[in-house]
């Protein structure tokens, strides 16, 4: 049994894992749930408890035995799981980049001064401000379909979403432009799916092992280690993105202050991260560089 949120994207992700497991001969069903993160739409996540609100009810279902595993967008998963829970595997990453979506403008550079751009991600707020301090950035909550509807209703000139979610739901045509990482560095874990189980379920760890994508797992381990070392919150104005170049894992991170217009603090490093522990060490090292340069 897979515990999942009931948004269209979350259900797509759960169905994707279900199909992969069924191909391997397992019998799988879904347990749809509405989380607190889905219910609270009038305040930013950073003010009501962070993105962990999207996973808490699913973890309760695992703990009480109503479900065996939960499928998450990894960028929604808190950096430290509660005691007794484990990340069984990280799957191959979809496009990790941010997408510019607009009905009025073909590209980000086409936005006029003072245009209204919607996002509730503090990371996107500080990165957008660093690119275009002239824009008006407004909060945008809700699932992916709700956010698109708010754009279509004329509330925003443009919105910024994860490219992965749009592509998974067959909405790639809504993307007017993708931001390259050099412009807007992605969030830790963006585009990757993680599967959470109770830590004592050795049977599930064995069943899920073939779904793991090792290079993605190493990359997101480094990214999440930056966030963990910087305070652990998914709701902080922090970007972290790692890619392999040969055997070397190259990690870049950026931090900005959402309350002031100060310049971004950036850091990067690389190492031959052959296992999760070394990948995490790389993340901790880059977080130290950020703090030394003034991030907090």
Other Cβ atoms less than 10 A from the Cβ of 199: the count is: 15
Kindly give, in sequence order, each residue whose CB lies less than 8 Å from that of residue 97, ignoring residues fewer than 6 positions away: 163, 178, 179, 180, 181, 184, 186, 190, 191
Helix (H) or strand (E) holding 118: strand 116-118
DSSP assignment letter at 42: S
Question: CA–CA separation, 288 vs 273, rounded Å?
Answer: 18
Which residue in the list 38, 42, 68, 76 is annotated as catalytic?
76
Of 191, 195, 186, 259, the residue nearest 226 (C-alpha): 186
State yes or no: is 38 an active-site residue.
Answer: no
Beta-strand pair 98-101/177-179: antiparallel
Catalytic residues: 76
């Amino acid at each position: 049994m897979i515990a999942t949120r009931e948004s269209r994207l979350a259900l797509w992700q759960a169905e994707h894992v279900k199909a992969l497991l069924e191909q391997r001969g397992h019998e799988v069903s879904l347990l749809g749930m509405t989380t607190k993160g889905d219910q609270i739409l009038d305040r930013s996540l950073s003010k009501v408890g962070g993105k962990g609100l999207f996973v808490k009810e699913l973890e309760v279902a695992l703990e009480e035995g109503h479900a065996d595993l939960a499928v998450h967008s990894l960028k929604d998963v808190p950096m430290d799981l509660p005691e007794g829970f484990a990340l069984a595997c990280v799957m191959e990453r979809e496009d990790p980049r941010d997408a510019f979506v607009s009905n009025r403008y073909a590209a980000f550079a086409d936005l006029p001064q003072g245009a209204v751009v919607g996002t509730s991600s503090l990371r996107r707020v500080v990165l957008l401000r660093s690119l275009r301090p002239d824009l008006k950035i407004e909060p945008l909550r809700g699932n992916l379909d709700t956010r698109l509807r708010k754009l279509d209703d004329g509330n925003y000139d443009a919105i910024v979403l994860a490219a992965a979610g749009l592509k998974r739901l067959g909405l790639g045509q809504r993307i007017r432009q993708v931001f390259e990482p050099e412009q807007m560095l992605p969030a830790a874990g963006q585009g990757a799916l993680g599967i959470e189980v109770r830590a004592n379920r050795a049977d599930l760890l064995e069943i899920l092992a073939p779904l793991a994508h090792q290079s993605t797992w190493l990359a997101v381990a480094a990214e999440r280690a930056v966030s963990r070392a910087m305070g652990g919150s998914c709701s902080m104005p922090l970007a972290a993105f790692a890619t392999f170049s040969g055997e070397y894992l190259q990690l870049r991170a950026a931090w900005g202050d959402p309350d002031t217009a100060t310049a971004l603090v950036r850091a990067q490093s690389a190492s031959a991260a052959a296992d999760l522990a070394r990948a995490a060490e790389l993340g901790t090292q880059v977080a130290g560089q950020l703090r030394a340069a003034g991030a907090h």
